[in-house]
Structure 1
Amino acid sequence: MLKNHFKIALRNLWRHRVFSFINITGLSVGITACFFIFMYVTFELSYDKFHTKADRIYRVVTDIKTPSETINTDVTSWAFAPNLKTDFPEIEAFTRVSGGSFLVRKGNVKFQEERTLFADSTFFKVFDFKLLKGNLKTALTAQASIVFTKTAAKKYFGDADPVGQTVLITGDAIPALVTGVMQDVPENSQIKADMIISMVTLTQRFNKGIEEQWGNYGATSYLLLKPGVSAKNLQSKFPAFMEKRNGERSRKSQMFATLLLEPLKDVYLHSKRGGQEVGSISNVYIFSIVAVFILVIACINFINLTTARSVERAKEVGIRKVVGALKGELASQFIGESVILCLIAFVVTIILSVLLLPLFNQLSGKIVSPGIFSNISNVLILFGISVSIGFLAGIYPAMVLSSFKPVMVLKGRFSTGTKGNLLRKSLVVAQFSISIALIIGTIIVYNQMDFMRNRDLGFSKDQMVVINTNSDAGKDAFQQSVKSIPGVKSVAMSSAVPGGGNSGAYSEIENKKGDLQIANLDLYFVDFDYLNQFKIKMVAGRPFSKDFMTTDTSQAMILNEEAVKLFGYSSPQQAIGRRFKQWGREGKIVGVMKDFHFRSLQEKIKPLSMRVELRALDLVSIKVDAKNLPATLAAIESKWKEVIPNRPFSYYFLDEFFDRQYRAEQRFGKLFFNFAILAIAISCLGLLGLASYSTYQRTREIGIRKVLGASTPGIVNMLSADFMKLVGISFLIATPVAWYFMHKWLQDFAYRIDIQWWVFAVSGILAMIVALGTISFQAIKAAIANPVKSLRSE
């Protein structure tokens, strides 16, 4: 019997191969899109879960309250973690990490390792990063000990064993011993590194005494709690610990720290404090909803297309019933056909997934999966989804087809009834509600991305080449040498550029009342040309000037407008001449600059201070002429190799660097757009099915109207009107839902667009055009058909 069902199913699929092709294509595309989203969401949710002790690992974060503000930071003081381990037996181990960039040389091979971490010797005890060579317990105990990843080690040593060999680090060529080689850090880790240096190298050599500095924040600290320990109970003991260990210092500095514990598994998606790599739980939710939408649309398509073809199988059902076929047998036959069709779609989905996975990885900006067969459980899940869709989506068409009354259908006419029509129309409304909501979402996402790209940032970033000298002794000579290159317009040096990292500084600024108010201000060290080169405008006072070289290099500060407001001044001019103390310097505020976006548009502009500190400038910013740019860059590289020969030459353009902050949002936008297009395309297939069914049902009516003189445009309008009503209802449903979810999405941006009325109008018009284009094919075909044939068939 099963063999017979299988033969009939294949015969019917082949007889109606165009319809079968449309149905299989819709299912395959829908399941493929859903499968990719499933892999993406699964990957995002898997971050840091490969650590076997992940349930017991917590990141220590800090809320720092000053008289001016409360700073929510993801780092701690260098002293916190070691002392927490000493005072609390509930803590099994701790480790601190801190990022950096190091020059590494081995013979003539040299690289600037940008993904470098300092880490305590317990790093491999807390985390399960696999050490391929070396001793887990001792790899990071001694000064100048280095653990490379497998890929990084290959750059310097090829296929030779690196353990026990020496490399030179930093511009001072400090010998460092390679004590281990670790497996490359998994993609789903928010802690990323190519090279790890022992923490004692930092605390005992580069910055001796830093572990006793309770007010120096810069370490990312993790605690491994003993089994059964409650993180909530442990956290409740931290206030007493801080009072005991740092209470007096806190009251003196007026900076009060509150320690909090974040589960490691929550850091990537749920923490609002940032980190080395962060994700967005909102995006995960959105894509999950989109996946469900696409799957629902694919199922709706299947139902509509199958029932639309049901009239062609009415006589078959009638004859089989007359010769004794039972309703259950017919239903199982049609459900079986549905499952077979979905299994064919499953095979097509596998092929599409294999072909499109590299493109999807590229669009998502990460290796979501190296291959669909790398995790066989994903394929099994995909198979289960396909069979389930075939069974569930086939139930309704099977019930409809198996319920035909043989007497009616053998007389040559049958109707599925009002309820069937209502259900099909409801399904189309559901499809187009989803599609219109996705169109609205796509337009809003695009407009927000465009707004972020084109907003006036308050500084000039075009044609700006930035080079990090990493404090090399030849940095000043290099700066002077590039000024003579014809394509160079101007040169400036600083400790930071907009979009890059900058340090917070404990500051005391005279407020409106005349008191020195404590605050933690972002701080840029700059030279005398920086403000002019970046076209940062002054709103009060003066910029730094070589005419005041003696005082400006030791006693002058410039604040931005936001900082002026923080200290209570109603106008920038009131802050000029006020006193400041910052990092051992004392002096007066000489100018106030206009606010500019030195961080992402997702963050509000924060108080910023600038000082001239010529010894602390590492970044060389070069304004270049767009003409003959390759020749200018080649000349800059030539000067670099001449003045700083021991370091590899590397540069970036500031506009591209600044825009990197929005890569995650840009990738989200591209993925959202592509999935929205797929959903709309699949919806159109469903609408095509319903249009086909409807026109077939009205064949006699169309024939009579044509005989009575109805024109082709009039018939097309008549057939299209009902569908346009459905799209209109979909628009009314989709608009408020889309507004609500996109409004919530925009709240993640400090600077964002307003959702304009025209977005909904454009979305509705686009949906109408797409729907009308889809329907017109069947409507015109029916309208131009010979009425004699349609009436004779009755």
Structure 2
Amino acid sequence: MLKNYFKIAFRNLWRHRGFSFLNIGGLAVGMAAAFLILLYVGFELSYDTMFPKKERIYMLVSDLKTPSDSYQIPVVDWSVLGKITPQFPEIIYSTRIDDMDLSIQKGAENFVEKRALAADSTFFKIFDLKLLKGNPDEALRAPLSLVLSQTGAQKYFGSENPLGKSLKIMNGEYTAQITGVMEDLPKNTQIQADYLLSLSTFTKIIDPSLDESWANYEPRGYMLLSEQANPTKLVSKINAYLEEVDGEKMKASNLFIKQDMEPIADIYLYSTRIGSGIPNINNVYIFGVVALFILLIAGINFINLTTARSVERAKEVGIRKVIGAQKKQLMLQFVGESLIITILAFILGIALATLALPYFNTLAGQAVALGIFSNWSYVGLFFGIALAIGLAAGTYPALVLSSFRPVSVLKGKFSTTRSGGFLRKALVVSQFSVSIILIIGTLIIYNQMHFMQSQNLGFAKDRLLVLDTDNNAKQQLLADYLKTNPNIISIGKGSTVPGGGGENSSALSIMQNSQGQDQTLTVDRYVIDDTYLDQLDINLIAGRNFSREFASDSTQALIVNEKVVDLLGYSSAEKALGASFDQWGKKGHIVGVVANFHSASLQNQIEPLSFVYDTKQSRLLTLKISPSNVSETLAYVEKSWKRFMPNTHFEYYFLDEFFDRQYRAEQRFSNLFLNFAVLAIFISCLGLLGLASYSTKQRRREIGIRKIVGASVPGIVNLLSKEFIKLVGIAFLIAVPIAWYGMQNWLQDFAYRIDIPVWIFAVAGILAIGIAMLTVSFQAIKAAIANPVKSLRTE
């Protein structure tokens, strides 16, 4: 009997090939899309979960409060871990990690490695990263110890064993010994490095005062806690202890510090601290919902089309019952056929996902999975979903058709039930509600991205070429030589450029406020020359720029932005001029105020910013170049670089492209959302096309009679289409408030955002109706132009 069921099932599939293609194809595409999204969501949720002791690894973070403001930062001061680790037995190990650009000399050439970290000797005790060569307990203990990843070792030593060998670092000033080779770090961790330099290189050789400094915030701090430790209680004890030992310093400087701890596995998705960016969990939630939406649409399609088609098999059921088929057997047949179809759709969906994975990885900007079967639990989950959809689609016709009275059915008295028609209409409304929500979401995301990328940033980033000289001694000679090229309009120097290029540092500063009192602020600090502001067209609204004519500018002058003026309580920028400051050992007065500008992406609020004048510590050269002959200018710059710095690898970037990199994550999110929204709409159209085909076939005699009595083709098309258009209209009314609420919450994560315009909802409605009209009209026109004689023939 089972063999007979299989034979009938495949005969039905083949007899109605077009319908079967729509049914199986729609479900397969939906499952493939949802499967890819699941891979993405799983990848995002797996960040920093590969460490064996992840449940006990915490990041120590800092909350700073001044009389006028408060800051939540993801770093600690240099000395805090050294103070607390010996005091609390709950802390097994602690380590500091400092991001750095490490210049490495290979032969006669210097390379600036961006994927480098300085770390304490306890680094490997906490993170348990596998060392392929070397002793993890000793690898980072001595100053000038360097651990390479497999990639780093291959770059500098090829197939040789690098252990015990040495490399010149920091422009050849120091020689580092290779003490270990580690496995390449996976992509799904925030600790990314191909080069680990012992932190004692800085604390013992370069700047021995670091371990004793206070409120000097730069490294990230991590702790491995004991199994019995209570993080909440430990934080309270840490803060009480630091209040005891540093309380007088806090009062004297009006800077009050509290420490907090964040589980390492939560930082990437949940942290909202300055420098951490927008919490990625929101995007994960959105994609999770999109995956559910796509599965819902695909499932609705399948159930809708399966139940609609089952009505045509009423006579088959009648004949089976006449020859003795039991109700249980009929139910098993319909459910079994439905399961066969969903299993075929599952197999096809896995095949489609396999083919689409390389494109999906490119779209996501990272290899979220190397293969479809890298996680078998996901495959099992989707097989279960396929079975569930098959059961849901097969159960309704199984129950209804197996209950028919064979005499009535064979006399042709069977017709679709009101409940069946209502169910199909409800399902169409549901799937188009989801589609309209996705259309609205896509339009709002696109507009927010366009808003961020087209806003006036408050500075000019076009045609600015940035070179990182890493404070090379011949920087000035290079700059003077480049000025002779007529295509290079101007050259400036700075430690940092907007967007995070160069050295990004925050400085604890004491400034005189509007009440004449000393006020502590934490401000971003740019080291620049006297041409930097003009070159970037940063607007000076009060006071003056730095000048070579004032020798004291390099030691006693400070320029701030409007945000600092507001925090100090001055009613105007002019009134802040002359206010005293004390910053990193420099004391003097504010000589200028610049208008606020976006030094970071529009995802973040404008932060307080200060500029100091020092041409010797300005590692970046910024070149304003002519828009003509760009390739020739670049060739000239490279040739000049090799003339003055032949041992340093030539690298450059354009500021506009560099600044826009901050939006890459959101751009990828936007592209992914758009692609899956289009897929969801496509699947909805497949279902609507199938239902329209079925509905048209059911009314073919009615259409024939209408044509005979004079109905026009447009009239018939309108007749067949208006029912579906009504359903789309109802879906629109349901979708609008849901989409508005969801996207309004999404926009709250942006410091600068659009107000959702009404036209977006109007466009979404027009698009949805237009898509539905195009889909339905294809079948309606086909039916309207058919020969009525054929339509009126009896079976």
- Tell me if both proteins adopt one fold, taking TM over 0.5 as the criterion: yes
Supply the AA of the counterpart residue of 1:496: T
Supply the AA of the counterpart residue of 1:752: R
Secondary structure at 2:550's aligned position in 1?
helix
> Residue 275 and residue 125 in structure 1: after superposition, are their counterparts in 2 closer, same or farther (change >3 A)?
farther
> Residue 278 and residue 139 in structure 1: after superposition, are their counterparts in 2 closer, same or farther (change >3 A)?
farther
Bigger drift between 297-306 and 270-279 goes to 270-279
Secondary structure at 1:384's aligned position in 2?
helix
Mapped partners of 1:398, 1:682: distance in 2: 25
User: For residues 54-65 of structure 1, what are the structure 2 equivalents within 5 Å?
Assistant: 54-65=54-65
1:227 aligns with 2:246: no
Question: Which blocks of at least 5 consecutive residues in structure 1 are unaligned?
Answer: none
Q: What is the deviation of 1:754?
A: 0.5
1:87 paired residue number: 87
1:205 aligns with 2:208: no
Mapped partners of 2:715, 2:322: distance in 1: 42
1:454 paired residue number: 454
Given that 1:103 and 1:169 are in contact with CA atoms closer than 8 Å, whether structure 2 keeps it comes out as yes
Mapped partners of 1:382, 1:490: distance in 2: 60
Given that 1:109 and 1:156 are in contact with CA atoms closer than 8 Å, whether structure 2 keeps it comes out as no
Mapped partners of 2:792, 2:196: distance in 1: 83
Bigger drift between 11-20 and 763-772 goes to 11-20
User: For residues 556-595 of structure 1, what are the structure 2 equivalents within 5 Å?
Assistant: 556-595=557-596
Q: What is the deviation of 1:34?
A: 0.5
2:156 paired residue number: 156
1:269 paired residue number: 269
1:577-606 Cα distance to aligned partner (Å, 9 max, x none): 332222222222222211111111011112
> Residue 330 and residue 109 in structure 1: after superposition, are their counterparts in 2 closer, same or farther (change >3 A)?
farther
Mapped partners of 1:109, 1:515: distance in 2: 52
Given that 1:438 and 1:676 are in contact with CA atoms closer than 8 Å, whether structure 2 keeps it comes out as yes
1:763 paired residue number: 764
The count of corresponding residues between Structure 1 and Structure 2 is: 793
> Residue 545 and residue 215 in structure 1: after superposition, are their counterparts in 2 closer, same or farther (change >3 A)?
same
1:367 aligns with 2:375: no
Q: What is the deviation of 1:450?
A: 0.5
2:661 paired residue number: 660
Secondary structure at 2:552's aligned position in 1?
helix
Between the aligned residues of both structures, percent identity stands at 54
User: For residues 326-405 of structure 1, what are the structure 2 equivalents within 5 Å?
Assistant: 326-405=326-405
2:691 paired residue number: 690
Mapped partners of 2:700, 2:512: distance in 1: 86
1:140 aligns with 2:173: no
Given that 1:268 and 1:278 are in contact with CA atoms closer than 8 Å, whether structure 2 keeps it comes out as no
2:648 paired residue number: 647
Given that 1:48 and 1:54 are in contact with CA atoms closer than 8 Å, whether structure 2 keeps it comes out as yes
Mapped partners of 2:713, 2:737: distance in 1: 37
2:776 paired residue number: 775
Given that 1:494 and 1:619 are in contact with CA atoms closer than 8 Å, whether structure 2 keeps it comes out as yes
Question: Which blocks of at least 5 consecutive residues in structure 2 are unaligned?
Answer: none
Alignment equivalent of 1:511, drawn from 513, 526, 532: 513
Supply the AA of the counterpart residue of 1:775: V
1:598 paired residue number: 599
2:67 paired residue number: 67
1:434 paired residue number: 434
> Residue 275 and residue 68 in structure 1: after superposition, are their counterparts in 2 closer, same or farther (change >3 A)?
closer
Q: What is the deviation of 1:159?
A: 1.2
1:367-410 Cα distance to aligned partner (Å, 9 max, x none): 11111133333333333333333233332243344344433332
Mapped partners of 1:443, 1:76: distance in 2: 41
Bigger drift between 495-504 and 308-317 goes to 308-317
Bigger drift between 454-463 and 588-597 goes to 588-597
Q: What is the deviation of 1:436?
A: 0.2
Mapped partners of 1:91, 1:513: distance in 2: 44
> Residue 150 and residue 143 in structure 1: after superposition, are their counterparts in 2 closer, same or farther (change >3 A)?
same
Mapped partners of 1:186, 1:274: distance in 2: 25
Secondary structure at 1:525's aligned position in 2?
strand
Given that 2:109 and 2:648 are in contact with CA atoms closer than 8 Å, whether structure 1 keeps it comes out as no
> Residue 214 and residue 586 in structure 1: after superposition, are their counterparts in 2 closer, same or farther (change >3 A)?
closer
User: For residues 8-27 of structure 1, what are the structure 2 equivalents within 5 Å?
Assistant: 8-27=8-27
Mapped partners of 2:624, 2:558: distance in 1: 25
Secondary structure at 2:81's aligned position in 1?
helix
Q: What is the deviation of 1:320?
A: 1.4
Supply the AA of the counterpart residue of 1:505: A
Mapped partners of 2:169, 2:94: distance in 1: 26
Bigger drift between 522-531 and 568-577 goes to 568-577
1:532 paired residue number: 534
Secondary structure at 2:72's aligned position in 1?
strand
1:520 aligns with 2:505: no
Alignment equivalent of 1:545, drawn from 544, 547, 563: 547
Mapped partners of 2:702, 2:689: distance in 1: 20
> Residue 685 and residue 405 in structure 1: after superposition, are their counterparts in 2 closer, same or farther (change >3 A)?
farther
Mapped partners of 1:397, 1:541: distance in 2: 81
Mapped partners of 1:220, 1:127: distance in 2: 14
1:254 aligns with 2:254: yes
Bigger drift between 304-313 and 729-738 goes to 304-313
> Residue 527 and residue 52 in structure 1: after superposition, are their counterparts in 2 closer, same or farther (change >3 A)?
same
Supply the AA of the counterpart residue of 1:525: V
Given that 2:435 and 2:677 are in contact with CA atoms closer than 8 Å, whether structure 1 keeps it comes out as yes
